[in-house]
Structures are given as structure tokens and as C-alpha cells.
């Protein structure tokens, strides 16, 4: 696996055209102003090229429009918590075609997924888990009724039908303890 990855990266780097200098588009100094971040954890880019930033230790999501000089808080940002309008150390975000945000945070113990309708100042809890440490979230690109969640604790990927929420989701990858086998996932 290591050799395949090294070959891929070598090929990518030798064929790619890279800018000499990177450009900081948001942040650069730690803080809680809308042009600052504190431990950014995840990002999502929508169809308008707006950047949603999971600002973990500010307990918020910042939406940064293309060419903007400051961002807008679109979820959380009123301090850590699990009440409506609050987030607690968010980890990941995805956004559906209607602009509804789905956010993973650490509700302790475990994780939760909250849904924030476009323009809303509060989210509703979609899923709450006591024994799942969620690490990533994404929609099925062919069917937005299905949401996928990476579980770092159980080393699995779960699928949920958001139109009919029942149970703990369906395991679609891993779930057979940590390991290198084809039916296992590593961290």
C-alpha cells in the first residue's frame, strides 16, 4: 500500500502545476473574530464556491464567501453547549443542495449530528450517539436521502436514510474491529 501511495503522489506531483506560494484566505491568527479561527477541523465548499469552516474550539461554523474579507457565523458561535443554537467542538460538516447544513459535534459522551436549515439560528438533533466518535460526514452524491458517517471508535462507515431515521444506521464499511483486512478499517 505504501508503495502504491508513494507512486501516486510522485506521479501527481510530477504532472501537477503548483503555485510557488500559498495564500492564507482566512485566519492566520488565532481568535474568535469572524476573520479568525481556533483549531479549524473541517471544510466544505458549496456550488457557489463558498467555504464552510468547522471552527472547532470557537464552537461554530463560519461561511466564507468567495473574495470576502470576513466570514459569517452560520451555526453556533454562542459558546460551547448542546442546547438549540449551540455546538460543542464541531468536527465535520456537509451541506445539501438546499443549503441545509449537517454538522457533527462532540456532545459528550459520544457524538451527534445536527441539521441547520438554511438561514436558521438553531439546529435540530438528527442523530445522537453514546458510543460513536464521528469523524466525517457526506451525502450520497446520487441520492441525498442517504447520509454517510465515519465512526472513528468502531472503525466503520455508517449509512442513514435521513427521511426515515431509525436505529444506529447500516454499516457499509468496516465494523470488524481495527485492522488491515478488507473488511476492516484503520484509524
Cα dihedral value 179, 56, 41, 158, nearest 10: 40
pLDDT score for 11: 57
The mean pLDDT of 15-41, rounded to a whole number, is 83
CA distance 48 to 34: 20
N-to-C CA span, the chain: 15
For 124-142, letters b (16+ CB in 10 Å) and e give eeebebeebbbbbbbbeee
Domain 31-174 classification at class level: mainly beta
pLDDT score for 133: 75
pLDDT score for 6: 53
The mean pLDDT of 79-92, rounded to a whole number, is 92
Residue 76 has pLDDT above 70, yes or no: yes
Residue 124: pLDDT band by 50, 70, 90 thresholds?
Answer: very high
pLDDT score for 18: 67
pLDDT score for 1: 41
The mean pLDDT of 44-70, rounded to a whole number, is 94
Q: Which of 125, 81, 84, 118 is nearest to 103 (CA)?
A: 125
Residue 106 has pLDDT above 70, yes or no: yes
Residue 120 has pLDDT above 80, yes or no: yes
Residue 70 has pLDDT above 80, yes or no: yes
180: phi then psi, degrees, rounded to nearest 5? -95, 0
Residue 177: pLDDT band by 50, 70, 90 thresholds?
Answer: confident
Q: Which of 27, 41, 184 is nearest to 106 (CA)?
A: 41
Mean pLDDT taken over the chain? 85
CA distance 118 to 61: 13
CA 91 to chain centre: 5
CA distance 158 to 44: 20
Contact 93, 44 (CB under 8 A): yes
List pLDDT tens digits, range 129-154.
877 777 888 999 888 899 998 888 78
Residue 4: pLDDT band by 50, 70, 90 thresholds?
Answer: low
Residue 25 has pLDDT above 80, yes or no: no
Question: How far is CA 132 from each of CA 8, 99, 110, 135, 174, rounded to the nearest angstrom?
Answer: 32, 26, 5, 9, 14
List pLDDT tens digits, range 34-52.
999 999 989 999 999 999 9
Contact 150, 127 (CB under 8 A): no
Amino acid at each position: 500500500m505504501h508503495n502504491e501511495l508513494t507512486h501516486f503522489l510522485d506521479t501527481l506531483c510530477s504532472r501537477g502545476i503548483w503555485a510557488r506560494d500559498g495564500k492564507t484566505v482566512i485566519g492566520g491568527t488565532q481568535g474568535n473574530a469572524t476573520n479568525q479561527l481556533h483549531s479549524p477541523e473541517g471544510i466544505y465548499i458549496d456550488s457557489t464556491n463558498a467555504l464552510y469552516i468547522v471552527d472547532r474550539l470557537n464552537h461554530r461554523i463560519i461561511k466564507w464567501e468567495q473574495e470576502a474579507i470576513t466570514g459569517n457565523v452560520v451555526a453556533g458561535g454562542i459558546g460551547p453547549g448542546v442546547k438549540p443554537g449551540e455546538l460543542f467542538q464541531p468536527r465535520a460538516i456537509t451541506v445539501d443542495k438546499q443549503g441545509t447544513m449537517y454538522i457533527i459535534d462532540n456532545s459528550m459522551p459520544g457524538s451527534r449530528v445536527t441539521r441547520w436549515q438554511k438561514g436558521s439560528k438553531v439546529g435540530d438533533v438528527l442523530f445522537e450517539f453514546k458510543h460513536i466518535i464521528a469523524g466525517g460526514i457526506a451525502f450520497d452524491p446520487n441520492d441525498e436521502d442517504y447520509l454517510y458517517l465515519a465512526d472513528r471508535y468502531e472503525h466503520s462507515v455508517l449509512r442513514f436514510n435521513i427521511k426515515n431515521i431509525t436505529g444506529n444506521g447500516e454499516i457499509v464499511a468496516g465494523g470488524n474491529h481495527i485492522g488491515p483486512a478488507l473488511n476492516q478499517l484503520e484509524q
